[in-house]
Amino acid sequence: MLLLGVFGNFGVYSGMAGMMEEGHMFFSLTPVGIIFGIIEAGVMGFIAGYVIALVYNKFA
């Protein structure tokens, strides 16, 4: 997320940066938007991992 935001500001991977802006509520190509995007992705990843662990432990 950090590298995509930095490279998106330089015009590299601009298509992927645009798709990331569409998919993440708080991500934008500003420094604050990049930080909020990292936090949002971390929270979403934690929740997804927690749910996967719960399901795995239920059936294992």
**Domains of the chain, residue spans:** 2-59
Dihedral of alpha carbons 26, 32, 34, 39, sign: negative
> How many CA within 13 A on the CB side of residue 46?
6
pLDDT, mean of residues 2-12: 93
Q: According to the model, what pLDDT value does residue 60 have?
A: 87
pTM of the prediction?
0.83
Q: Is the pLDDT of residue 37 over 90?
A: yes
Place of tokens 């749910």: 51
Structure confidence at residue 42 (pLDDT): 96
- Distance CA(34)–CA(44), nearest Å, equals 15
* Average pLDDT, integer, range 17-45: 95
Question: Which amino acid type is present at position 33?
Answer: G
